[in-house]
Structure 1
Amino acid sequence: MNRIFNFFISPYKGLAKESWMLSVVMLVYRSGSMVLPFLGVYLTEKLGFSLKETGTLLSFYGLGAILGSYLGGKMVDKMGYFKVQIVSLFLCIPGLLLIPEIKNFHLLSIILFLQSTFSEIFLPANSVAITKYSSLENRARAFSLNRLALNLGFFIGPFLGGILSSVFYNLIFYVNAIAAFISGSILYLFFKDKIKTTSKNNDTISQNKHSPYKDKYFLIFILFCVVYAVCLMQLFSTLPLFYKNVGLSKIEIGMIFGYCGLLLFMIEMPLVKWLTKVLNIIHIVILGLFLLFTGYFILVFFSDIYLILISITCISISNILVIPFLSTITSIRAEGKNIGSYMGLFGAIFSTALFISPFLGTFLAQNYGFRSLWLVVCILIIISITGIYFTYTKKLTNSI
């Protein structure tokens, strides 16, 4: 019994309290982030947009996220991670309150673009903060703790969102705005005195001129990461539409996403600690990519609830094995360079995917069916496996 207890508890030891507080902020913020998993369903069901129009609107959200990641990285190098996170969290609130009041396609595309821009500024700053408060030895665990908070929030948010949306859709936007306010307040109250101390030593603002946009091999690595992220982001764009298409209710969809978050909450940290002892970083990433492939490949042939649960389990566990370790690779690559810009560029892979994924997913689903969509996604995952493994082992390891 003690071995089991230690297996689950020991991975949390040795992390700085600042890492814990950053994760608390992420938990509160993401607990309210029930908008994205239901946005596609909201646009089609509540506002009556077609799949094509919904894909366009979701892509505007993704386009804003690309800009947000870029700006976030630049702002961190100029302003420091604390101010950027605060600005992002509080600027999110007006947009979340406005979205449910807008029904016009063109106005909605603008507000979704701005909202995602303000929202995504937060992530590069948060990633840099994690790097600042972790050592090289525990960095993967620090990123995993942050991901764990995100995933636990993703358990609470969609589960609550499924219930709220079945009562009144607008509630998911209002609760998201409240969560952004609370998380911003927590961040300010805990870190304001610490930043006054660390900023005197220039710990938060980069003076280095090494840009990730001149790092050729890192850019190639990021390109293949984008291919991976496009596949992963089907989770938020077309996968809920697929669930709806096979007859699942909004509450059932919310419960499936809630199950994902609960699963990751239970196993992420112990699994990461164990895997780092038995596998090197790139083999962990490749294992995660193969799990992602398996999750989507199941949907090519099956749509009953039990196999859907196996599919989403594979996709969820793949997150554990891929994202924290790609973050770690990026943060190590950025040592002694413009770390804000590096983490911003890394964050942009998911923002870019948010732009591409809805267009690709809804186009293929509407014109060729969901089975064809999942086949294309599986092919793209194989491409990403090949590219990520090659660029890491043949190029990046020369300087990591």
Structure 2
Amino acid sequence: MKKFYRNYIANFEGLSKEIWLLSLVTFINRAGAMVIPFLSLYLVTDKGFTKPEVGIIMTCFGIGSFAGTWIGGKLTDSIGFYKVITGSLFLGGVGFFLLQYIDTFYGFCIGIFSLILVADAYRPAIFVASDVYSKEGNKTRSIALIRLAINLGFSIGPVIGGLIIAHISYTSLFWIDGITCAAAAILLFILLKPKKATIDEPVIIIKKEGLPPYRNTYFVLFFIIMVLTSITFVQYFSVMPLYYSEDHFLNEDTIGWLMFLNGAMIVIFEMPLVAWLERIKISKTMATFWGGIFIMLSFLVVNLTSWSGVLVVGMLLMTIGEMVGSPFSSALALEMAPKGRKGNYMGLYSMSFSISHMVGHNGGMNLAESFGYDITWYAMAAVLIIVSILTLWLYRLLKKSPKFSTL
């Protein structure tokens, strides 16, 4: 046990103090984001919206995310990641405060769009910040630590959120989300001074190297892969909770614990897994491939039986796919980005998740409404088969390129 503990701690050695601070701020932010995992349930059970209406609201979520990541990428390259991160966190907190007072369908469409536009400007900025503060050779581990913070917060958030819903009310979550976002912004403002962050920021790089992301053939293919993967992944944050509730009759408290399993596994196993995969020198592209395979299996397995225990197996498989694929796909995007354009590249990379919110939630909701959950999960598995073919194609293309042959 002591050996396991020492080896686990060793995975975190060599990371800069700024990366640890960014991870702490991210943890506080994500621990408070309790509304998001329960948003579809809240809209159906508390507000009385239909599944197609919820799908449209979640599409507005995706449009806001798309606009926010695009704006965030542009602002990161122009004014620097520090201002983008702190501004996004603080204004996002204000947005969560206000969201609880909306009751109408169109009001929610506008409110969700505005909130996520502000909140998701954070994404490209945090990736560029991790690149700036990473020491040579540990970018993937730095990203993995930030992901660990996200998932530690995300694992705690749903559990607390489920308990609050069960014993208090949904509206309490909005207050907690707002307070934690504002607290994360204040903590970053106090502990990470702008002067320290601007030494190597992209804003001082006048000459931009390489092609813009939308003209980089390799990156466009990678972007398509990430969009399709993310369309399937977001089902776990909208359609899957409804499936847990309607087909397996789980309450919000139990659903929160099931989501906790995802975050807990990532906190315990992702860093050692990433370190091991780096030691065996797996390419970032092939790690992305295997991540998609495990997520595909997670959708197939839940259709094998009506026994609710299979939901745990599905969550375990999805989590393995996330742990293998996500850190390496993020690192792959950073490695493909030339100097002076990292904000734009990471903005486009983040937009893949935004597009998935625009298409995935609505598509999944309407598939479930029209054909049932079983067909929906088979459809998601089919999309991931296409993803696996495209990823292998990207791997072969990169192997032929002298610049990217190691990716």
Distance 1:87 1:205, change over 3 A: farther
Quote how far apart the aligned CAs of 1:354 are: 1.0
Distance 1:202 1:182, change over 3 A: closer
1:354-387 Cα offsets, whole Å, 9 max, x none, are 1111111001000000000000000001111111
Amino acid at match of 1:176: D
By percentage of residues, which structure has more helix?
Answer: 1
Report the equivalent of 2:218: 217
Report the equivalent of 2:323: 320
1:305-338 Cα offsets, whole Å, 9 max, x none, are 2111010011012111111101101111113241
| Secondary structure at 2:103 match in 1 | coil
CA distance in 2: counterparts of 1:14 and 1:313, whole angstroms: 30
Q: How many residues align?
A: 398
**Preserved CA contact (<8 Å) 2:227 2:356:** yes
Structure 1 residue runs without a partner (length 5+): none
Aligned partner of 1:300 among 300, 303, 320: 303
**Preserved CA contact (<8 Å) 2:77 2:340:** no
Amino acid at match of 1:272: V
Name which of structure 1's ranges 316-325 and 204-213 shifts more when overlaid on structure 2.
204-213
TM-score, length basis structure 1: 0.96
Root-mean-square deviation over aligned CA pairs = 1.5
CA distance in 2: counterparts of 1:335 and 1:396, whole angstroms: 18
1:2-36 Cα offsets, whole Å, 9 max, x none, are 42122211100010011111100110000001111
1:91-131 Cα offsets, whole Å, 9 max, x none, are 11222112111111111100100001001001110110000
| Secondary structure at 1:300 match in 2 | coil
Given the alignment of the two structures, is residue 387 of structure 1 paired with residue 386 of structure 2, yes or no? Answer: no
CA distance in 2: counterparts of 1:346 and 1:136, whole angstroms: 22
Report the equivalent of 1:232: 233
CA distance in 2: counterparts of 1:240 and 1:207, whole angstroms: 47
Distance 1:263 1:347, change over 3 A: same
Quote how far apart the aligned CAs of 1:202 are: 5.3
| Secondary structure at 2:198 match in 1 | helix
Distance 1:32 1:201, change over 3 A: closer
Report the equivalent of 2:268: 266
Report the equivalent of 2:358: 355
Distance 1:208 1:105, change over 3 A: farther
Report the equivalent of 2:277: 275
CA distance in 2: counterparts of 1:205 and 1:370, whole angstroms: 51
Structure 2 residue runs without a partner (length 5+): none
% of aligned pairs identical? 29
**Preserved CA contact (<8 Å) 2:152 2:263:** yes
| Secondary structure at 2:49 match in 1 | coil
| Secondary structure at 2:100 match in 1 | helix
**Preserved CA contact (<8 Å) 2:132 2:200:** no
CA distance in 1: counterparts of 2:297 and 2:87, whole angstroms: 39
TM-score, length basis structure 2: 0.95
Name which of structure 1's ranges 333-342 and 59-68 shifts more when overlaid on structure 2.
333-342
**Preserved CA contact (<8 Å) 1:63 1:355:** yes
Q: What pairs up with 1:22-61 in 2 under 5 angstroms?
A: 22-61=22-61
Q: What pairs up with 1:59-70 in 2 under 5 angstroms?
A: 59-70=59-70
Q: What pairs up with 1:137-286 in 2 under 5 angstroms?
A: 137-166=137-166, 167-192=168-193, 195-199=194-198, 204-209=203-208, 210-245=211-246, 246-278=248-280, 279-286=282-289
Report the equivalent of 1:291: 294
CA distance in 1: counterparts of 2:60 and 2:129, whole angstroms: 28
**Preserved CA contact (<8 Å) 1:44 1:54:** yes
Report the equivalent of 2:93: 93
CA distance in 1: counterparts of 2:97 and 2:91, whole angstroms: 11
Amino acid at match of 2:198: S
